Structure 1
């Protein structure tokens, strides 16, 4: 005999429209739960406002709410940008990809420029990416493949490295490196 409660559906609760207090509570909960930028907090609150509507007396003032949170340091764009950029570089992403992510997160140009990786950081990130993905000197070439298959394999590696945000010249240098030591020397050239 089937359980009669198994097929019952719960009625979906319609959320209440936002007012000044609920909007502040949503912002506080979001900032407490996630490391975020002021741009991401602003877009989150705008989305919630579109989903739930507004029932306050006057129009919602999201920019002043976000500015107040930044003033109280609940949201810190500089710290967020530094954390996000270092995380992306550690995973092997290049300067272009870091800049794109910081722009998408709503950080202004000054913060993006301050967190742009230098040549040394970019090469170290490329080295980490190539090693993790087993490209270039870490690669295992297609077994028994001819020159056409090797060329396609190399092109796929180049495309993946460029998509990860590295320059084409650096990608080519990494893929064409014969040994791990050669690639390490290239990275060490810009250290100091």
Structure 2
């Protein structure tokens, strides 16, 4: 060997080692059932399986959910609140929930959070990007179009984005009831 030591290949997984991997993963990361299943499937592809029956990944994810190690609804609500504080809109929240494998029922509260904080999220986004009322000078039509596109990509509805982008510096729109 020249310079680098070769790593010894890891042994294939069995039921106990698969559960230990799952426990380590949920202990270290805020996760969902879908993300845990994906992680365990990847580890099985990498290391193999020694059991006679196929591994019960789905059952393990459900068991961890029943034990309270995983809570998809709490994960979804936390993700929605976090994205809203960072200035992302409801559509972007929906995309994040889909990517995390959150089921419709578990994401209901998160969707409500995103809808409730739509105005505050848009305000945070224009403040961070210095658009509309937070700009140092009025935007020309091309720059307004680009700013509007950025807000829409961030998940804000067109009408709400327009309210902020069409404003001059220091001219804040009235909050809708």
Runs of 4 or more, structure 1, over 4 Å off, are none
Alignment match, 2:28: 33
Alpha-carbon offset, residue 123 of structure 1: 1.0
Match for 1:138 among 125, 134, 140? 134
Question: TM-score normalized by structure 2?
Answer: 0.91
Deviations 1:141-184 (A, max 9, x none): 48xxxxxx82221111111111111111211111012254533x
Structure 1 unaligned regions, length at least 5: 143-148
Alignment match, 1:20: 15
Q: Which moved more, 1:158-167 or 1:108-117?
A: 108-117
Q: Which moved more, 1:22-31 or 1:104-113?
A: 104-113
Does structure 1 conserve the Cα–Cα contact (< 8 Å) formed by 2:132 and 2:166? yes
Report the number of matched residues.
176
Alpha-carbon offset, residue 28 of structure 1: 0.1
Does structure 1 conserve the Cα–Cα contact (< 8 Å) formed by 2:72 and 2:106? yes
Alpha-carbon offset, residue 114 of structure 1: 2.0
Question: What is the alpha-carbon distance in structure 1 between the residues aligned to residue 149 and residue 28 of structure 2?
Answer: 36
Does 2:176 match 1:176? Answer: no
Question: TM-score normalized by structure 1?
Answer: 0.85
- Structure 1 or 2, whichever has the larger Rg, is 1
Deviations 1:82-123 (A, max 9, x none): 111110111010000001101111110012222113544111
Structure 2 unaligned regions, length at least 5: none
- Residues 52-63 of structure 1 aligned to structure 2 (within 5 Å): 52-63=47-58
Match for 1:114 among 106, 109, 113? 109
Alignment match, 1:154: 144
Question: What is the alpha-carbon distance in structure 2 between the residues aligned to residue 120 and residue 59 of structure 1?
Answer: 44
Could you say what the CA RMSD is over the residues aligned between the two structures, in angstroms?
1.9
Question: What is the alpha-carbon distance in structure 2 between the residues aligned to residue 111 and residue 47 of structure 1?
Answer: 25
- Residues 74-113 of structure 1 aligned to structure 2 (within 5 Å): 74-113=69-108
Q: Which moved more, 1:64-73 or 1:133-142?
A: 133-142
